């Protein structure tokens, strides 16, 4: 007897009219195993009432709405790459409706992170500052490099993004710092240096430095420098398209398909733990 085909993953997208939202809409449409069942945007957006695929010229049959409950009503999972305040509103709606959540939003406060962790006792959540498969493999490489170069190397993290990005350093850069600090047995809050100006004195060898660049339409570049005596190692990841974030997000949706509760990240999704 032929096995019944697997049911598609029913997905809603937050911020559906934005750059990342449109990439997610297209990725779900083209995936073969995911179906777009809801599209959300903020009240007052010019896209409200339009088909989520109108901009690409490939209608989805799903209209963009500001009614969060309605936008989630036919979905099993919401993908959210919006702003912290919007994501928290969506989190509460997902809790109320039993909808799982993939969070790519960055810039959360400690209190907001605690609320997300609390919500994961009632729904399943994947939260990662970067959904790219390549970035998460890079994080694993950084963990290995930091352990091997724990002494005698100064560590600097340089990131570049488009002019519209509102938080700095990027969530990905901070995650890189956290991974490195954990591998070294340090607390990033105590060893991070986010700005240098004037007479700063010699570099503290235990510090992890950050530098931020904003300009143009840079999708996302990250480079970690391990600078030693007589050599330096540079581990770099460059994104040329948001498509990689969308594909990673769909992998997270698939991972959550058999989960009802729990807080996970892309290391869990990719089996890198």
Active site residues: 161, 165
| ∠ Cα 270 28 45 (to 5°) | 115
Instruction: Encode burial over 21-55: b for 16+ CB neighbours within 10 A, e otherwise.
Output: bbbbbbbbbebeebbbbbbbbeeebebbebbbbbe
DSSP at 60: -
Other CB atoms closer than 10 Å to residue 255's CB: what's the count?
Answer: 20
- Distance of CA 232 to CAs 132, 153, 154, 248, Å? 26, 8, 9, 31
Q: List phi, psi (to 5°) of 253.
A: -60, -45
* Degrees to nearest 5, angle at CA 29 with 26 and 31: 105
For residues 254 and 126, the answer to whether their CB atoms sit within 8 Å is no
């Amino acid at each position: 007897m032929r096995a019944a085909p697997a049911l598609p993953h029913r997905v809603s997208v937050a911020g559906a009219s934005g750059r990342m939202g449109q990439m997610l809409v297209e990725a779900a449409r083209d995936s073969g195993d995911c179906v777009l069942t809801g599209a959300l945007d903020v009240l007052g957006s010019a896209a409200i009432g339009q088909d989520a695929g109108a901009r690409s010229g490939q209608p989805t049959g799903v209209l963009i709405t500001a009614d969060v409950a309605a936008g989630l009503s036919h979905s099993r999972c919401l993908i959210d790459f919006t702003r912290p305040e919007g994501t928290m509103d969506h989190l509460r709606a997902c809790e109320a409706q039993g909808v799982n959540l993939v969070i790519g939003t960055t810039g959360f406060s400690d209190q907001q992170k605690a609320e997300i962790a609390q919500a994961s006792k009632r729904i399943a959540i994947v939260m990662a500052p970067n959904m790219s498969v390549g970035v998460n493999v890079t994080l694993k490489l950084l963990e290995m490099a930091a352990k091997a170069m724990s002494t005698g190397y100064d560590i600097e993290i340089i990131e570049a993004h488009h002019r519209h990005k509102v938080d700095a350093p990027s969530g990905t850069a901070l995650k890189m710092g956290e991974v490195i600090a954990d591998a070294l047995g340090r607390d990033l809050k105590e060893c991070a240096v986010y700005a240098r100006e004037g007479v700063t004195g010699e570099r503290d060898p235990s510090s992890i430095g950050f530098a931020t660049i904003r300009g143009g339409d840079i999708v996302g570049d990250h480079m970690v420098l391990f600078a030693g005596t007589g050599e330096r190692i540079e581990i770099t990841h460059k994104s040329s398209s948001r498509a990689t974030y969308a594909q990673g997000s769909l992998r997270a949706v698939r991972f959550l398909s058999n989960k009802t509760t729990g807080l996970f990240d892309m290391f869990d999704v990719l089996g890198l733990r």
